[in-house]
Chain A
Amino acid sequence: MSVTAIGTYSHESHDGAARFSAPLIYIAWDEHMIFAAPVVLPLSLDTTIEQLQKKVLPQLYGQHPDFARIDWSRVQWFRGSTMFTPKMDGTLASQGFGHKSVLRLRTPGLEGLRGSCG
């Protein structure tokens, strides 16, 4: 039994995809922790990486002084802990993302405020 209980007990997840307007995607910019935690957004899986880069990420991270310095050709993209090479016009779905996937980007050479990862 997957819970210590007095009788049979099972419960569906409170956070199945059907309960949200769009699948949830967690997004993080590694080594930039003035954004204290990764964030969660409802995001259509038809969103392309390019749309994400041009529309979503600037809203989330544009206020960091490092953001304008990002060399997008050198960005490393991660799905969870797995690095992948994105097709810029490929959708999130086509690159393996689903409800509650984590997308992390790492920007080598940019390590936050004075190298503090802040």
Chain B
Amino acid sequence: MDKRVEKKKLDIAKRYAAMTNDLHWETSYQPMEKVYPFARYEGIRVHDWDKWSDPFHMTTDVWWHQQGEKERRLYAVMDAFAQNNGQIGVSDARYINAIKLIVQTFSPLKYTLHRAFANAARNLPGDALRIATQFQAAEELRHSQHEQHAASIYNKYFNGLHETPRWYEQAWYLAPAKSFAEDAASAGPFELLVAISFSFDSLLSDALFVPYMSSAAHNGDLSLVPASFSAHSDTVRHKALGIEAVKFLLQQDPLNVATVQRWVDKWFWRSFRLMPLVAVLQDYMVPKRVYSFAESWNEFVEAPVNALFAELASYGLKKPAGWEQACDAKNHLSHQTWNAFYGYGDALAFHTWVPGAEELEWLDRKYPEIFDHWYRPRLTHYAQLEAAGQRFHNHALPMQCQVCQQPMIFTEMGSPRWIAYRETQHDGQHFHFCSDSCETIFSNEPDKYVQSRLPSHEILHAHRGDKLEDALRSSIAAMGVVIGQDNGSFDGSVDQKNFEEWGGGQDMKEAQL
């Protein structure tokens, strides 16, 4: 039953109280812990739920109204883009590969988070948090849908977008995203809040949204720009919510501090291990570049996180344990990741290429300390092999980190010479990690992570002695990726050929002249 509202106009705080407070009641014939079975097992102590209210005082009718308006604007732009054959106006068909990667990773990831937040909304014992997480559940679902709608126009014209949910479930290079989302969704409701609303949304989401929106706009993708804008306006709220929720938990009981710190350490790092996908988008995949990944990290992560933790220090919270490592790795992520993607280029569902001469110069300008020495020689080598008609391929199954499930491509802090290895024993078995933080995550909850389904191992479970050389490529083909059409070199691809035939990218070329 809707609650009757006494007067037509209440002020925002009263309205919020009127619309939400009755959602919470103390049970009479069942104990509270049976109604909220997940409220206590994580060890978070909350003494007074009334001390927290949603900083936005958002109620369902307001939310409905705002999202409806945004939806109308968003679909107006997307429809106009489709009607005007906007796909022909993007800078270059290479750009579509950035969309493929987003729709293969982040859209299904957000779908899983939608389910995770719906679960939290049912199980958090405080009414204001329940409402806020319910909104976030709906918003994660919207963002996932919007991105898929925005990409659907490209799916009519380009390869690599036709079975993205299936690839997310199975493909080796999407496992880090899937495992991230499922780790969060299988955590308790408080951990989920700290994981996503705080660690992912507050600390890192701007490094995803802001540069990507600029890049999309700069490359003529007016389909994904409004979808990202719409999502970003929600994420700004999720960020504020995450920060307020963490402060609330820290204030409620001094014993909460250690638990929240452990979650922040864990989830900052798990979120950071999604950044390789963002880094390659910015530094390698968008034809017209805006920010380098390192620049956007400095501006949208390093500076704000330093400021935020200066404030949170008074609550007893320290910067996440992997912070120094992440700030060191910002310069290497995109190069190491693109190197892996290129080498396994026939085991992906998008195209790869060697950056052209101007792009190499851009990379050198953006990464002056490291690019020339460490990364240019690999790319030059690949280009020479391509010119000789012998594209480089890496065929052996990559070793993956037991926790983040990234292939073990990351190097030690301060030394791009050595791949970082960490190892521990549990129940008589070796387990391997890409970093101290991933090892710590495992050691805190080994029984969770011994269950990891590492894609290379999954392939080998089924393997009985035939040739292993093509195992990774075959696994991709088995999930509906058409080898050589959905992946492989961009040069000579169907995408490239079609785009040229349609006269694609002309506006951008003329604008450059």
Contacts and interface: CB of A to CB of B under 8 A. Distances in A.
Interface of A: 2-6, 9-16, 19-21, 24, 26, 28, 30-31, 33-42, 59-60, 63, 80-81, 98-102, 112-118
A45 B416 CA distance: 32
B396 interface: yes
A64 B460 CA distance: 25
Nearest to B450: A13
B256 interface: no
Interface stretch (B216-224, B423-431, B496-504): B423-431
Contact of B450 (A14, A99, A101): A14
Contacts of A37: 340, 398-400, 407-409, 419
B451 interface: yes
16 contacts: A3-B447, A4-B41, A12-B427, A14-B450, A14-B453, A28-B419, A33-B409, A34-B343, A34-B378, A34-B382, A36-B343, A36-B407, A99-B429, A100-B431, A113-B381, A116-B375
Contact of A19 (B43, B340, B451, B461): B461
A39 B378 contact: no
B37 interface: yes
A4 B399 contact: no
A102 B377 CA distance: 27
Interface stretch (B267-275, B291-299, B463-471): B463-471
Contact of A4 (B188, B416, B468): B188
Contacts of B423: 80-81, 102
A83 to B, nearest CB: 14
Contacts of A6: 37-38, 41
Contacts of A40: 396-399, 456-457, 460
Contacts of A39: 396-399
Given A34-B392, A118-B381, A3 B446 contact: yes
Contacts of B14: none
A31 B417 contact: yes
A38 B465 CA distance: 21
Nearest to A42: B460
Contacts of A20: 457, 460-461, 463
Nearest to A12: B450
Given A2-B446, A42-B463, A81 B457 contact: no
Interface in B300-342: 336, 339-340
Contacts of B465: 21
Closest 4 CB pairs of A and B: A36-B340, A39-B396, A118-B378, A37-B407
B452 A14 contact: yes
B378 A116 contact: yes
